[in-house]
Amino acid sequence: MAQDKKGISPAATGLAGAVVGAAATAAAIFLSNEKNRKKAEAVLTELQKEGDKILKEISRVALELKDRGENALPQPKKAAKKKAA
């Protein structure tokens, strides 16, 4: 009987865990220095500002497209309500 392959191999899981552990250790060492923390904070703040600008622009364009789409498409007719006798 052939055995079905299910899940992730233990070797891949171990490798992924090692990579995550190494990244966490490198980040901890980098952020242990106050100058590095301040640099990282400045970069993250700038990225957040840039992300906010992009989000506003995407929202504006989406609303414009929505408005154009609503005006361009025929509106569905509403069914008349029947009165109960």
Q: Where along the chain do its domains lie?
A: 34-72
- Establish how many alpha carbons lie within 13 A of residue 9's alpha carbon, considering only the half-sphere containing its beta carbon: 3
- Give the position of tokens 């609303």: 63
- Confidence grade of residue 8 (pLDDT, cut at 50, 70, 90): confident
CA distances from 35 to 19, 38, 39, 43, 68 (A): 26, 5, 6, 12, 50
pLDDT recorded at residue 1? 44
pLDDT at 20 over 90: yes
How many Å apart are CA 52 and CA 43, to the nearest integer?
14
pLDDT at 73 over 70: no
pLDDT recorded at residue 9? 82
Whether this model's pTM surpasses 0.75? no
